[in-house]
Amino acid sequence: MSAQGEFARIAADDGRAALVTVIEDGAKLLVRDDGTTDGGLGNADLDRAAAEAAEELMWAERSELREVEGVKLFVDVTAPAPRLVIFGAVDYADALCRLARAAGWRPFVCDPRSQFATRDRFPEAEDVLAAWPEDALARLGGIDRATYIAVLTHDPKLDDAALTLALRSEAPYVGAMGSRRAQAHRRERLLAAGIEEELLERIAAPIGLDLGAVTPEETALSIMSEVVAVRNGREGGRLSQVAGRIHEVGA
Indicate if the pLDDT at residue 247 is higher than 60.
no
**Do 185 and 93 share a structural domain?**
yes
What confidence tens digit (pLDDT) does each residue in 46-98 have? Answer: 999 999 999 999 998 999 999 988 899 999 999 999 999 999 999 999 999 99
Tell me the mean pLDDT in the region 114-143: 96
**Do 41 and 122 share a structural domain?**
no
Tell me what the pLDDT averaged over the chain comes to. Answer: 92
Tell me which residue range forms the domain holding 61.
3-78
Tell me the mean pLDDT in the region 26-33: 95
DSSP conformation letters of 106-134: EEEEE-S-TTTS-TTT-TTSSEEE-S-HH
Q: Which residues contact 86 (CB under 8 A, 6 or more apart)?
A: 93, 96, 97, 107, 108, 109, 110, 125, 150, 152
pLDDT of residue 235: 87
Alpha carbons 173 and 154: distance in angstroms, whole number: 19
Instruction: Give 242's pLDDT tier (boundaries 50, 70, 90).
Output: low
248 in a domain, yes or no? no
pLDDT of residue 4: 92
What confidence tens digit (pLDDT) does each residue in 145-199 have? Answer: 999 999 998 888 999 999 999 999 999 999 999 888 888 999 999 999 899 999 9
CATH of the domain at 207: 3.40.50.720
Q: How many structural domains compose the chain? A: 2
Q: Which of 78, 106, 127 is the last residue of a domain?
A: 78
**Do 102 and 46 share a structural domain?**
no
Indicate if the pLDDT at residue 227 is higher than 70.
yes
pLDDT of residue 239: 74
241 in a domain, yes or no? no
**Do 225 and 208 share a structural domain?**
yes
Indicate if the pLDDT at residue 130 is higher than 80.
yes
93 in a domain, yes or no? yes
